Every structure is written in C-alpha cells, then in structure tokens.
Structure 1
Amino acid sequence: MIYSLENSTVKITASTHGGELHSITGKKEGTEYLWNGDSKYWKYHAPHLFPIIGKVIDSKYRVDEKTYELPAHGIARIADFEFISQTNNSITFELKYSDDSLKVYPYKFSLQVTYTLEENTIKTTFRVINLDDKKIYFSLGDHPAFMCPIEEDDKLEDYYLEFNKKEKSSAMLINEEVYISHNRKEYLNDSNIIPLSKELFKDGLFIFDDLKSNKVSIKSRNHNKSLSVEFDGFPYLGLWAPDNAAPFICIEPWFGHPDYEDFNGEFKEKKGVISLEVEKEFNCSYRIFIQE
C-alpha cells in the first residue's frame, strides 16, 4: 500500500513493500527528485539495506558455524513492512522477524523506519530492536536514487557532486563480482567537487570510508535546484549509478559494506557489522534536503 505525506514545501509517497520512499516532489514547481523505479534501468526507488549491504561471498555467510544464504542487500528491500502510525508530519513502518526470516537470518529483530517532514527536508530514521535472547549482528543502510539530471533539458555533464568540506580521499573499489577489492582510487584531492559524467561510474560502485564531510549535494551549473544528503554518523558512503546512461545517481549512507573478495570469517567478524545486546536498540538517521 502507498501512503503520502506533505507540507507546504514537499510531498512524499512511501510503500509498505520494502518500506521505501517512492517519490519526493517539490511543490513549488512539481519537480520530482527521486528515481521513478523504471525497470528498464533499475526497479527500486530508495530501498533499505538490512541485515547486509551489498553481497556476501556466493550469497552465503556463517553464524555460529552454520551457513545461511541471503540475496544482495538482504531481506528488507523485498519484504512487506507493516504500517505502524502516521502523524501530520511523519509516517512509520515496521519489519519484524518471522519464521521465514529466521531461515535466512537467524536473529529476532524489529526494524522500524520513520519518515519525517521538516520544511524542505525528509528525515529517515532507523530503529533496530533486539528481540532475541542473544546478541544480534547486522549491517544497515539506505540506497536512494536521485534524478540526475533534475531538469529534462539538462545534461549529466552540467552536474557535479559537492561535499561540504574539502577532502583528500580515496575510495574503496569493487571487483567484477561486486565484492570489495583491496584497490582504492583517488576521487578527491584537496577538493570538494566531483564532476559528473557517464565515465565516472564505469568501475561501478565506489565507497568512501574516511570523509570529513557529513553532507553531499547534487548541483547544476544551469540553475539553483539541488538535492543534498546529510549523513551524520554513518561511517561509509556509497556512490553508484548503473553503466547504462540511467538518469539517476545513488547516494548511500551505510553502516557496513559488501564482503571483501577474500573474506572467509564468521558474520560477526566482518568489518562494519553492528552488534546489539539483548533488549537494546540501535538508532540512526539521515536527511534529504531539496532546494528550489
């Protein structure tokens, strides 16, 4: 089911399937900022990544010496969430463990997602609750795809990514199987600008793990419309667009990342995985700003 929420500046829609946003519309001119999910390019809009991010080796991972299988990005993006509540400025969905989920992810959990409108801002809040009688382990992140170009008459080369601090940073790269390699590539050298082009993502996804910035914006040289993602506290930021001239770019705040190509440990030993004690909860949030 699709739910909508709006204020004087912005309107959003979100679905119980995957609990994901389907639309972010600026009300001043009716501009759509979120990818429409056209399966010709990519069928999602802004999926939630839980309890893994990216791929585990051969889709398999180990917990207490037992092997389980998970598809890329885990179960949240393909699961049906339950509608929990809605106020004048927020809406909350929940995904809880089930007999089926325990077959592929052996932990009892509640994952709650709340969208809150604050003027020109959409705040996404995650709450993970340990409902098990033991410590649980997971990764958590988001995968929103934003229209780029924002205006139909623009070209991709009219746009750039702007970080809110100058960076000297290289990014983690993936191999052909979409596992993290041990290679890195410099994208920012005492700069806060990455020009956008079709060639930028020819190597696929790249992941920053050492940024000083907590905000990145998609901007155009032709007008003042822009979109920004503020990712306070998230240790990883993924950037991705498919290599088929798709008119969107994904800006992805993460706790965790795909497996390294040579990883062979237990799930709890994986770098970036969160551990959560019995009856405890984990909370994080990020913000999307539109500027018109």
Structure 2
Amino acid sequence: MTQIKLENDFISVKINDKGAELVSLYNKINDTEYLWQADPKYWARNAPILFPIVGKILDNKINIKGQEYEMGQHGFARDLTHHLKSQTDDSVNYLLHDNEITKVKYPYSFELNTAYSLLKNGIQINYKIRNPSEEDLYFSFGNHPAFNWPLNENNPKNSYYLEFEKKETANRIWFEDGFITGEEKPYLKEDKIIKLHDQLFINDVLIFKNLESNSITLKSDLSNEQLKVSYGGYEYMGIWTTPGTPFVCIEPWCGIADNSNNPVDYENKLGVQKLSPGNDFNCHVSYTFN
C-alpha cells in the first residue's frame, strides 16, 4: 500500500492507494487531526469510498439479469488498489476500472476516477464514474468519512451539534438490523440543528433523502472550531456512529441499503443509478475547517 501526502502551511492530508481513501485531515495551525484514525476497537476505517453498493445486501448477494453475484456491504472499491493517474504538489488523481477481480462480483464495465485537490483550509474530492461499455451501467456510490467527535478533546461530546446549511423538513428513513424497512418517520421540521449525543444513534443511522442543504457543519457550543462537509450530486444523507464511540460519520450517498421487506433485482434497487454508454456521472465532497 502506497500513501501520498499533500500539504500547505495550514493543512496536511494523507491518501492511501488502497481504496483511494483519505486517512488524515490534519490542521497544522492548532495541531489537530480531524479525521478518525481507524482504531479497530471501534471502527477500523477512515473515510472509505462506497461502490458499487451502499449499505448491506440481503444474503450478501445481488441478482443481475437472472444471475447471482456475491457482494459484501458497501461494495469492493474500498478494498482494492486504485491506480495513480497523476500527481502535482497540491493534487492527486486515482483510477479504478473493472478487471477480472471485479467481474466475479459485478458484471459491468466501469471507470471510477477520484481526484483530490488541496484547498487552503481543507480538501476537495471530485468523483467521476464513466461507462466505457456499450450497455447501461448500474451502480450506487457513496462516501463514509468519520470525523473525531469531539474535534477538540478539551470540549465534551455533548457540546457538539450538526448545523445544516438551510432549514430542513425531512422524514427519517427507518433502519433495522442494517436494512431499511420501507417506513419513514417525521424527524426534521424547519430545523437547522441536530444536537449530538449517544442516544441519538440507539436505533442506528439517521437517513434523510433530498435535503435542501449542500453542507453540514460539525460545531461545538464551547468553541469557534468547526468542520464543514460540503457535497453535491447526492440523493441521500446518512449520519452514523454507535453509542460510546468517539467519532461521527457524515455520509452523502447515491444509494441505500436493501429493503428487508421488499427484495428486488439490483437494477431495480432503490437508489441505484443508471448510466448510459459513454456517459459520466459526477459528484463531489469537500472537508474544510475554519
């Protein structure tokens, strides 16, 4: 596994070629690491890319055109080496494409480009999925970054909250045992704030669809320090941790876990994207601090 470091006077980031995964987001000014450092006691990942599946699959199998394929939770992109396409002092670009390993699990041809660009106070990540074949490409895609909660160890966890860019009215998509149930419950009503506390996640992940906001910011009542997650091109937002765990995940998704009450073929699965031959799908995220 090869790791690349990008840095300026304010920030340094580290990216592994395995999964093209961001593994460090470090503020040089206040000597603070903001990205979760994959302690296996809690969760042994940092910020994996989810492709071509988001969430859990019933029986770890997908059905495509009458044939079953073995597929684990969140897909395979996070566990494969992404090839370095280009690198400059402040950017790096990776490519993952179909091969004999992916074809065993997933019959489609694809190209997944992940481009990191260093900002003065953070990192911008642009994703492009290209369909190089002569048939439609079906896929899901998502981000699963985990951020230290608290950002600053001097502030208690219960001083933190999430602030949406805009007031939101949205149902919570209900989740049980790793799968959606098809049920939605009223949750946000002209709200901008979700106060963070362990009991918030007693019933697993918070999932919302088609939010108005293009950013969510992790803040504390006790300091001005904050971390903003900005995003575009996604349908769902997941907010996840487990009670007693020192991180929180802010996860934009184009896709969602299987419905335990309504199994369907992969191409008809909720959240799966359809990409015509020769076309591209684009989305982006950025993580910035003040």
TM more than 0.5: yes
Whether the 8 Å CA contact 1:237–1:251 is kept in 2: the answer is yes
The separation in 2 between residues aligned to 1:282 and 1:168, in whole angstroms, is 28
Q: Deviations over 1:183-222 (max 9, x none)?
A: 3333322221111101011111121103211111100111
Q: Deviation at 1:247?
A: 0.8
1:215 matched to 2:215: yes
Q: Percent identity?
A: 36
Q: Which residue of 2 aligns with 1:28?
A: 29
The separation in 2 between residues aligned to 1:66 and 1:182, in whole angstroms, is 25
The 1:265/1:182 distance shift into structure 2, 3 A limit, reads closer
1:238 matched to 2:238: yes
Q: Deviation at 1:96?
A: 1.4
User: 1:87-236 alignment to 2 at 5 Å?
Assistant: 87-176=88-177, 178-236=178-236
Q: Which residue of 2 aligns with 1:283?
A: 282
Which amino acid letter does the alignment assign opposite residue 155 of structure 1? P
Whether the 8 Å CA contact 2:198–2:242 is kept in 1: the answer is no
SS across alignment from 1:199: helix
Larger deviation, residues 193-202 vs 259-268: 259-268
Q: Deviations over 1:161-201 (max 9, x none)?
A: 1111111222112112x110123333322221111101011
The separation in 1 between residues aligned to 2:159 and 2:264, in whole angstroms, is 44
Q: Deviation at 1:141?
A: 0.8
Q: Which residue of 2 aligns with 1:260?
A: 259
Q: Deviation at 1:286?
A: 1.4
SS across alignment from 1:8: coil
SS across alignment from 1:224: strand
Larger deviation, residues 11-20 vs 280-289: 280-289
The separation in 1 between residues aligned to 2:77 and 2:208, in whole angstroms, is 23
Q: Which residue of 1 aligns with 2:272?
A: 273
Task: Provide TM-score, normalisation by structure 2.
Answer: 0.96
Q: Deviation at 1:226?
A: 0.6
Q: Deviation at 1:21?
A: 0.3
Which stretches in structure 1 are left out of the alignment for 5+ residues?
Answer: none
Whether the 8 Å CA contact 2:233–2:282 is kept in 1: the answer is no
SS across alignment from 1:103: helix
Which amino acid letter does the alignment assign opposite residue 43 of structure 2? W
Which amino acid letter does the alignment assign opposite residue 14 of structure 1? I
Which amino acid letter does the alignment assign opposite residue 92 of structure 2? I
1:68 matched to 2:44: no
The separation in 2 between residues aligned to 1:233 and 1:67, in whole angstroms, is 29
The separation in 2 between residues aligned to 1:236 and 1:209, in whole angstroms, is 4
Which amino acid letter does the alignment assign opposite residue 229 of structure 1? V
Q: Deviation at 1:133?
A: 2.8
Task: Provide TM-score, normalisation by structure 1.
Answer: 0.96
The separation in 1 between residues aligned to 2:205 and 2:245, in whole angstroms, is 14
Q: What is the count of residue pairs matched by the alignment?
A: 289
Q: Deviation at 1:119?
A: 1.5
SS across alignment from 2:267: helix
CA RMSD of aligned residues (A): 1.2
Q: Deviation at 1:233?
A: 2.7
Q: Deviation at 1:290?
A: 0.9
Q: Deviations over 1:9-54 (max 9, x none)?
A: 2110000111100000111112111000110100000000000000
The separation in 2 between residues aligned to 1:162 and 1:110, in whole angstroms, is 34
The separation in 1 between residues aligned to 2:172 and 2:15, in whole angstroms, is 32
